[in-house]
Amino acid sequence: MLDAANPEQCAESAHEVELQLACDDEGIPTYTQIRRWVRTSIAMSGRASTSRHEITVRLVSRADITQLNASYRGQKKATNVLAFEAEHPPSLPADAAPDLLGDIVICAAVVAAEAEAQGKSLQAHWAHMLVHGTLHLLGFDHNDRQETEEMESLEVRVLDSLGFEDPYASCQ
């Protein structure tokens, strides 16, 4: 059993994280950092249905994220992170691919610009975006006040366990 209070143990879990680089921006975290942040988010979420999950993290350009945001959310602008839950064909037995959580798509340029505008370290903002995206794949959302409070509270706890400050502290 994983000890969610121990990020080092969480980082060594069996969760698979595939990284796809579709941009060449500077300041992108290492694969090891990305994997650790995603795995810790899963372990601390309380919603991991199996001991093993698979997530793809794709880092993209501003043009790519703008196209995805327009296609899937109807918003013709760049955004920082999009999360796409895995969709299993109805004909596929439920237990055939239970470990696939989905894809997290992050725009490196937007993350860098936001970090600078918000006066946050680039690494801290990257960690926040990966935690946020992972929690979306696990079913967390921010459609109403209660959901927002639950998700943000968990984000703060996960980030604290990873050594990062509350990303919402300056917003309150």
d(CA 166, CA 59): 24
- Model confidence, pTM: 0.87
With CA atoms as reference, report the closest residue to 83 among 110, 49, 44, 56: 56
Taking the chain (172 residues) in consecutive chunks of 10 residues, what is each chunk's mean pLDDT?
Answer: 43 76 95 96 83 89 98 96 88 71 96 96 97 95 91 97 92 55
Domain 7-87+97-166 indexed as CATH 3.30.750.24 = no
Tokens representing residue 44 in the block: 């601390």
At 6-36, the pLDDT tens digits run 444 444 457 889 999 999 999 999 999 999 9
